[in-house]
Amino acid sequence: MPAPEPVSDGDRVAAIGRLHELVGDGSLALERFSASLDQILAADSQAELEAAMAGLPSIVRLTPASRKLSQPVCLDAGIARLELGAGWQLAPDTTVKTNTAKVTLDLSQVSWGSRAIDLHLQSVTGKIDVIIPRGVSVQIVSMTGRVILDNLAPPVPGGPVVRVDAATKAGRIRFMHERVAPRWRNRRN
C-alpha cells in the first residue's frame, strides 16, 4: 500500500483561506471555523485535509438530485453570441461549440450537476471565455490551439473540479476568475 500523500503548505493555506471567506460572508460560525481550522492544521495527509473540507459549504451551487440532468449537454453557438450565466445547469458532461461566435460561460453563476465536470470546448475562429469560481480546480486533459489560463487561484482541497478538453483552430479559449472589461480604443477623427 502506498504511503498517504502529505499535505502541501499551498493546499493548507488554500484551505485556511476558504475558511476565512466563509466566515467573512457569514456562511460559517466562529465556533465551526475554530473546529475546522483545528482539523486543517492537524491533517497529516491530503485525504485528511479533504475530509476536513468536505463538511463545509460548497464553493459552487449544486443541483438538487431531483433536477440533475441524466444525459450530456451539447450547446452549439455557431455564429451567434452566447452568454450563459445564472439559470442554466452545468451537466457532468458538457460540450460547448462555436464557429465564429463569442461565448461566455460563467460557471460561478450556474447550477453544477456534479462536483466533477467534464467540459469539452471547441472553437473554429470564435472566442470562448470561461469564468471559474475561485477555489475550483481546473485540470486541462487535452488542449489544441490558443488556450489561456489567466492567473487562476489555487484550488481548495477537496473542492469541485472541471476537467477540460479544449480545442481551437484560429480562435481563443480563456479561463479567468472575473469578467474582463472590454478594451475601448480612442479614435482620433
Q: Is 9 helix (H, G, I), strand (E, B) or coil?
A: helix
Both 28 and 113 in a single domain? no
Domains identified in the chain, total number: 2
Domain enclosing residue 108, as ranges: 62-176
Both 49 and 91 in a single domain? no
Distances (CA, A) of 180 to 130, 137, 138, 150: 11, 20, 19, 10
One digit per residue, pLDDT tens: the chain, 189 residues? 677 888 888 899 989 999 999 999 898 898 999 999 999 999 999 999 989 898 888 889 999 888 888 899 999 998 888 888 778 889 999 999 999 999 999 999 899 999 999 999 999 999 999 999 999 999 999 999 999 998 888 899 989 999 999 999 999 999 998 765 555 555 554
C-alpha cell at 138: 481546473
Task: Tell me whether residue 146 is in a domain.
Answer: yes
pTM of the model: 0.83
